[in-house]
């Protein structure tokens, strides 16, 4: 009976430890995915802004060159 209790206690401790480990794993994975998502989002925003700036810059430049060419003639 004592051995069974001890085994049971060990099992309980193992299960508790497993639960703590599992919870920490889930929390860590959630945090890492959130962190990665925010990083990716920030990078996407930066890239998008850069692309918009490049496109708008080229459009402005092309308009300016067209105006210059027109004014030259």
Averaged pLDDT of the chain: 77
pTM for the full predicted model: 0.39
User: 69-73, long-range: CB within 8 Å, 24+ apart, which pairs?
Assistant: none
pLDDT-derived band of residue 4, with 50, 70 and 90 as boundaries? low
Render pLDDT for 8-18 as a digit per residue (tens, 0 to 9). 677 777 778 78
Structure confidence at residue 30 (pLDDT): 86
């Amino acid at each position: 009976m004592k051995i069974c209790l001890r085994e049971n206690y060990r099992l309980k401790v193992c299960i508790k430890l497993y639960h703590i480990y599992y919870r920490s794993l889930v929390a860590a994975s959630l945090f890492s995915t959130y962190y990665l998502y925010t990083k990716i989002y920030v990078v996407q925003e930066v890239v998008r802004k850069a692309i918009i700036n490049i496109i708008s810059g080229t459009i402005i430049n092309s308009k300016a060159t067209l105006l210059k060419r027109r004014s030259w003639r």
